[in-house]
Amino acid sequence: MDLQLKDKVALVTGAGSQIGYGKAICLTLAEEGCHIIAADIDFEGAKRTAAEAEALECRALAIKVDVTKTVEVDAMVAQTINKFGKIDILVNNAGASSELRPFMEMTEGDWQFDIGVNLIGQMRVARAVLPHMLARKYGRIINTSGGQGMPDISIYGAAKGGVVQFTKALAREVGDKGIFVNAVGPGLGKTGLVWRAPKEMLEGEKGASMLNRLCEPADVANVVAFLASNKCSYMMGQLVQLGTS
């Protein structure tokens, strides 16, 4: 199936991790013909991802951004519009977690961190990008959910649950204006976020998987590429959850 993504402009946050889902999303979209903006708080990582995307013969730009800072997010969008003239696709992939801790040992600073990056961060980037999509009556927004209801990451999970409800509501607000909003829920994978997780947790998740393996970046990237395309033509406000949970 040709996803018809040639010359679409895709902004991907959290694209700097060299073992993360964001980089795989950038490279898959680049292979499909998109131009790529690789944005991350880790600028060196973003530059490496952008360079690999460019080697796939697309145009690419690396931007340093902290999604918890409105000034930086607005500047990222302005820089993108300045260079590419439009944003067709936003992949709200940046995410992070405070230390694994039972709820009663977490600080309010931990709560603010988890919700600030994982929920408000995605809202902030969507708010900055949407006026440009609305002006052209075209857009694809893919938000990133994640593990919910899990011990020791309770507030991260609460933020990721919030992403699902935000996705549903926003899809209803802008769907009739040509903007499709959906979310992906990656399975547990050994990315930058998770590589320090206890071995038992990773083994347990692997065992629970029908495939007896963890989630790979390509598993996420292929789903995102579909959600970013016009082949996703009658699906809005949905969470595509990978894995068995």
Ligand X SMILES: NC(=O)c1ccc[n+]([C@@H]2O[C@H](COP(=O)([O-])OP(=O)(O)OC[C@H]3O[C@@H](n4cnc5c(N)ncnc54)[C@H](O)[C@@H]3O)[C@@H](O)[C@H]2O)c1
Give phi and psi for 48, each to the nearest 5: -65, -45
Pick out residues in 117-146 that bind ligand X (CB under 6 A): 117, 121, 144, 146
Question: What is the pattern of x (binds ligand X, CB under 6 A) and - over residues 66-105?
Answer: xxx------------------------xxxx---------
Q: How many CB atoms lie within 10 A of CB 69?
A: 15
Question: What is the pattern of x (binds ligand X, CB under 6 A) and - over residues 8-47?
Answer: -----xx-xx-xxxx-----------------xxx--x--
Closest contact distance (angstroms) between CB of 100 and ligand X is: 13
Pick out residues in 200-229 that bind ligand X (CB under 6 A): none
Closest contact distance (angstroms) between CB of 16 and ligand X is: 4
Handedness of CA 100, 192, 243, 237 (dihedral sign): positive
Place of tokens 């990008």: 129
**Cα–Cα dist 164/185, whole Å:** 9
HSE at residue 23, side-chain half, CA atoms within 13 A, is 19
* Calculated CA dihedral for residues 143, 59, 129, 42, nearest 10 degrees: 60
Residues that bind ligand X (CB under 6 A): 13-14, 16-17, 19-22, 40-42, 45, 65-68, 93-96, 117, 121, 144, 146-147, 186, 188-189, 191-194
Give the active site residues: 156
